[in-house]
Every structure is written in C-alpha cells, then in structure tokens.
Amino acid sequence: MKIFEKSFTQQEAIPEEGINAAVAVMRTGRLHRYNTLEGEKSETDLLELEFADYLGVPYCLACSSGGYALHVAMRAAGVNAGDKVLCNAFTLAPVPGAIHNSGAVPVLVDVADDYCIDLDDLAARAEESGARFLMLSHMRGHIADMDRVMAICARYDLFLIEDCAHTMGASWNGQKSGTFGDIACFSAQTYKHVNSGEGGFLTCRHPEVMARAIMHSGSYMLFEKHFAAPAKEVFEQIRFETPNYSGRMDNLRAAILRPQIAGLDAQCQRWNRRYSILEKQLSRCSAISIPVRPDAERYVGSSIQFSLPGFNAEQVLEVIKRCADSNVVLKWFGDEDPKDYTSRYDSWRYIEAMPTLPNTELILSTLLDMRIPLTFSEDDCEQIALIIDEAVMASCR
C-alpha cells in the first residue's frame, strides 16, 4: 500500500519580507491600527490600499476574520432583523451564520451539477421570497456564470454580497472575483490564498455602505485615519447612527499579509499547476466525475472537488477510509454527521422552515473535497491522484 508522507494542513512559511515586517512592528509596540505617528500610514492602512489597488476598487477594510467581514457586510448593506437573504445551500457554515447573526433569515438555494449555485432556482426563490439581498458564496473556488447572476440581481433588484473566501485571485471573463457585487468579502485564514492565521477584507464601491462598515468595524471617531475609504463628509451623519461591532485587523497581521498580496498571482499559478495534475489524472478514472470548468472562469485550484456517481454512503466512506490509510485526507460534504469544516445544509438547525433540497442532497451525497497545499510538489500530486484512483476502483467492487 502506498503511503503519502506529507501533511494536508501544513502551509508554506510566511515570506521573509513579511516576517521581517512583523518583527519591525513588534519592535515599535504599535500593533493597533490607529496607533500611528503624525502623517504616517500604518501597515493596515497600506494593506488596505494595496488590496484595493489589486482589485481595482475604491474602498477596502481589513477585518479580524472573513466571517466578521460577512457579518459587517450584512449590517452595512442595511439588512434588518427578519429580512430574507438568499444564499447557497452548498457553502460553509459561516455564511448562513453571518446571515443569522444579522437577525435575517437565510433562504437556501439549490446547487447545480457544476457545484455552483443553481441559477434557475436562484431566480425562482428570488421571485417567491421577495428577498432583497443575495449572499453568493463562490464555494470551494467554483464561480457561477456571473453574467447570469448579475442579470438575475438586476431583474429582482438584489443587493449582491460576494463571499470570495475561496476565489481571491480568480476571475470571470477577465473581471476579478469580488468586483461584481455591491460588497465583497475575503478571508486570510490559514487555509485560504493568503495566510495571517485569521483575518479578512471587505471591499465596496458604495461610499455610504463603506462608511457604515468602517464605523461598524470599530473606528470610533478615527475614521479619518482610513485611506482606502470615502471622504470624511460621508461619515457626518453615519457616525452617529452606526453601532460599533469591533473587529479590526491589527498591524502585525497586516505586515504578514502585504508581501503575500504582492505575490498572489504567482501563487495562484502554482496552485493551478497542481490542480491540473490532479484533475487530469482523476478524470481518467471511469468512476470519478469532475465538472468541466467554463472557459470564462479563471479559477484558483487551492482545493479539488470530485463526485462518485452511483456510489452509496458505505462506498463513499470506504473510499475515505482507504485514502486515510494512505495518509490522503478527503472530506465528504454529504455526511449526515458534520465533521471538521464540512456540514450539509440540513445540519444548520437554527434555520426556521428548513427547505427540502433533493438535488443538493443528491449532489453532496457523493461529493468529496481535498485541500491542495503549496507544500505539495507536482510529483506529490501525481502520487495522491494514484492513491485516490486505487481507493475508488477498489471500493467499486
């Protein structure tokens, strides 16, 4: 039996430039983003300016986590208690959690065969629910047809919040993920495309929405110390009526992230080379199905998903066990008992009037997920694919 020797949770080291910058911040003792000298931009200020420039958007807010960014996005967008918010049924728990945290009601939308949100079901649920908000999760890096998404948003007057936790550096038809919606949220958690342990970004084009987000983030009356932000005049009324939900990023994490943003596109290319090897090898197995990704999608292959059509739950579990015996870690989003970061939509039991989504259940019932750390070489990816192939074929018998 082949044994894979590396860890699926071991990330690459922080770039030396980031380590040196973090040490320099620690030597000053000024870790708080507003603790600056006269005329100085903090590491957090510079990070926000650089990420806004990378995306080509006017405003950026660095947050304590991607989940916090999602929550602030809800509040800054004007979501109130009882409002309905459309979101993918196939997503990670922080997405409906952020909706619930705002007092709103998640309206779950089915998943399509390509693992993206089902756009026909999205249109139907937008019409029947009367929802005014859509939190679109580009789940595990799969980008839906954004031309159709934007047409649906225009038809039903939906305020679009993009959850780009898995698509930092990706694009659709040459337009960067996170620049389609009214607000976009990104994650800098360890297993995302940049790593500060925890952290996130909120980006936006609307001055008043961004001003509310900055006030929510815990700026007190220091909003003029933000540079990737609207003019101070925009804050005049907002500053009195916007509650503080403190969730700022600090200069230490910002220092770690700045060189990673500068090198993001090169890292994305490295991920995609590894993804391509896995995709090519796994696609040769007759029992494995991997959706063909559209030409318009420039994805970032930091993880891979595949299905085992016709497999029952026992066979899926056997594949997972066989791979685990070879130290290859697969996650199953269709498990009735949530494990690790995976959970099926019907396990979020705080959602009232939980819908039945048979297509989502069918797709998730055989959908497996695997991280692709950049600590894996391209040869490692060849070995992993062979181990998965053998496990799948052995479980067919």
- pLDDT tens per residue across span 195-234: 999 999 999 999 999 999 999 999 999 999 999 999 999 9
Cβ pair 12, 24 in contact under 8 A: no
- Which residues have a Cβ under 8 Å from the Cβ of 298 and sit 6 or more positions away? 170, 171, 172, 174
Q: What is the mean pLDDT of residues 142-152?
A: 98
d(CA 157, CA 370): 36
User: What sign results for the dihedral spanned by CA atoms 348, 349, 351, 354?
Assistant: positive
> b/e map of 84-103 (b: 16 or more CB within 10 Å)?
bbbbbbbbbebbbbbbbbbe
Q: Which of 177, 99, 18, 1 is closest to 351 using CA atoms?
A: 99
DSSP string, 80-105: -TT-EEEEESSS-THHHHHHHHTT-E
- pLDDT tens per residue across span 166-184: 999 999 999 999 999 999 9
d(CA 287, CA 397): 11
φ, ψ dihedrals at 293, nearest 5°? -85, 135
In the chain, % of residues over pLDDT 70: 100
Residue 2 pLDDT class (50, 70, 90 cuts): confident
Domains in the chain, start-ordered, CATH in brackets?
16-262 (3.40.640.10), 264-396 (3.90.1150.10)
Locate all alpha helices (DSSP H) within the chain, ordered by sequence: 16-28, 43-55, 66-76, 94-101, 119-129, 146-156, 207-217, 235-241, 251-262, 264-283, 313-325, 358-364, 378-396
With the CA atoms of 260, 261, 262 and 265 taken in that order, what torsion angle do they form, in degrees rounded to the nearest 10? 100
Report yes or no on whether pTM surpasses 0.75.
Answer: yes
